[in-house]
Amino acid sequence: MPELPEVETVCRGLEKLIIGKKISSIEIRYPKMIKTDLEEFQRELPSQIIESMGRRGKYLLFYLTDKVLISHLRMEGKYFYYPDQGPERKHAHVFFHFEDGGTLVYEDVRKFGTMELLVPDLLDAYFISKKLGPEPSEQDFDLQVFQAALAKSKKPIKSHLLDQTLVAGLGNIYVDEVLWRAQVHPARPSQTLTAEEATAIHDQTIAVLGQAVEKGGSTIRTYTNAFGEDGSMQDFHQVYDKTGQECVRCGTIIEKIQLGGRGTHFCPNCQRRD
DNA sequence: CAGCACACCTGGTTGC
DNA sequence: TGCAACCAGGTGTGCT
């Protein structure tokens, strides 16, 4: 599922379902996804209460009684909440059983997702170690800092936006949408961007991710009807998965290329290389 | 240090 | 139809 808007949607959904619940037991069927000490994870979680939910970039945060569970959904991670035991499912990897009989299940077909348990004091250091950039908001995402970083990089702008260091939260869908809106070719070396182009990318990043959060995220390729997949942002995509269709701005046919190993959609007329 | 290919997994789609 | 190759909303590693 997830780029930032989808993770935010899951976060808001879980807030309504599991806040205040006490974990009675934990069941881990795919131990490899627990990246901190497994014994500790199994020992510490039971008896903790879900105090609140949070999000930083694409990381989902469960604030527990005296720990923080950091969950990253990677490509296909999903959470399902059941007021009872829940059904048996092939790709269910972690079960959080609550004292009231409810169950939160983490499912992930590709098993790329990760979970880590930290003391809250180490959360800031954790994100610093990941070199995670600012949240895509007016308050946090500073244009001057962004422009200065771009000026020092030869990386294609799309690859740079995807690496989470300049700004947190963009993934392969929204980065294509942002660059289309900003009218910048995805392969442009970062340092060749003009101040106007950098400003447009900055502003459109905030606008696109903000709009996507409002729409509840995007639901693409109708995967299983996962919790939180009720988004409608896909109806507003202008280039992602629009290969062969006309650009709504100029009528030119949208093209798809490979860039940094990722499928990349753009309008060859609106988004010139130079 | 920067940049890039590749690894991690499974399943759906495409093309011969 | 059968099956191999390729592709998928992400990130960490290890190499040049």
Q: A18 and A76, same structural domain? A: yes
Q: Please report which confidence band the pLDDT of residue A30 belongs to, taking 50, 70 and 90 as the band edges.
A: very high
Q: Please report which confidence band the pLDDT of residue A90 belongs to, taking 50, 70 and 90 as the band edges.
A: very high
**Residue A273 located in a structural domain:** no
Q: A166 and A102, same structural domain? A: no
Q: Closest nt to A111 (CA→C1')?
A: B9
Is A265 marked as binding a ligand? no
Listed residues A104, A130, A156: the one ending a domain = A130
Q: A253 and A150, same structural domain? A: yes
Is A110 marked as binding a ligand? yes
Q: Closest nt to A223 (CA→C1')?
A: B12
Q: A12 and A120, same structural domain? A: yes
Whichever domain contains A259, its CATH number is 1.10.8.50
Q: A113 and A164, same structural domain? A: no
Question: Catalytic residue numbers of A?
Answer: 2-3, 58, 262
Burial A213-235 (b: 16+ CB within 10 A, else e): bebbbbbbeeeeebbbbebebbe
Per-residue pLDDT tens over the stretch A91-144: 999 999 999 999 999 999 999 999 999 999 999 999 999 999 999 999 999 999
Domain range spanning residue A197?
143-266
Number of independent structural domains in chain A: 2
pTM for this predicted structure = 0.97
* Residue A157 to residues A142, A146, A152, A197, Cα–Cα distance (Å): 17, 12, 12, 11
**Residue A225 located in a structural domain:** yes
Residues by CB within 7 Å of nucleic chain B, which ones? A 32, 90-91, 109-112, 152-156, 159, 260-261
**Residue A135 located in a structural domain:** no
Listed residues A87, A109, A130: the one ending a domain = A130
Q: How many CB atoms are located within 10 Å of the residue A65 CB?
A: 12
